[in-house]
Structure 1
Amino acid sequence: MDPTIPHQADGERFRPNGDGASDTRRVSADGFGGRGFGELFSEFMEQGRRLLRAEMTLARAELRTEAKKASAGAGLLAGGGVVLLLGALTFVAFLVAALATALPVWASALIVAVVLLAVGGAVAWAGLGRLKHIHGPQRTIQTLKEDGQWASRTAHSMKSQMHGHA
Structure 2
Amino acid sequence: MTHAAHDRDGPADARTVSELVGTASEQLSRLVRDEIRLATLEMQEKGKRIGKGAGLAGAGTVLALYGVGALVAAAIIGLAEPLPAWAAALIVGVVLLVVAGILALAGKKNVQSATPPLPEAAVHGVQEDVATIKERSRRQ
- TM-score range (shorter-chain normalised) is 0.7 to 0.9
Aligned counterpart, 2:119: 137
Higher helix share: 2
> Computing the radius of gyration over CA atoms, which structure comes out larger, 1 or 2?
1
- How many matched pairs? 129
Aligned counterpart, 2:16: 35
Aligned counterpart, 1:149: 131
**Given the alignment of the two structures, is residue 110 of structure 1 paired with residue 94 of structure 2, yes or no?**
no
Counterpart CA distance in 1 for 2:33 and 2:12 is: 33
Q: Give the unaligned 5+ runs of structure 1.
A: 1-9, 11-24, 28-32, 161-166
Which structure has more RCO (C-alpha within 8 Å, separation ≥ 6)?
2
CA offsets per residue over residues 81-123 of structure 1, 9 Å max, x none? 1111110111122222233345432222211111111111111
Corresponding residue to 1:63 among 31, 43, 51: 43
Distance 1:103 1:26, change over 3 A: closer
Q: Give the unaligned 5+ runs of structure 2.
A: 4-10
Amino acid at match of 1:107: A
Sequence identity, in percent? 34
Deviation at 1:56, TM superposition (A): 0.7
Higher strand share: 1
**Given the alignment of the two structures, is residue 49 of structure 1 paired with residue 29 of structure 2, yes or no?**
yes
> Tell me, what secondary structure is at the counterpart of 1:132?
helix
Counterpart CA distance in 2 for 1:123 and 1:94 is: 23
Q: Provide TM-score, normalisation by structure 2.
A: 0.76
Deviation at 1:34, TM superposition (A): 4.0
Q: Provide TM-score, normalisation by structure 1.
A: 0.65
CA offsets per residue over residues 31-65 of structure 1, 9 Å max, x none? xx2403x3332322221111000001111112222
CA RMSD of aligned residues (A): 2.4
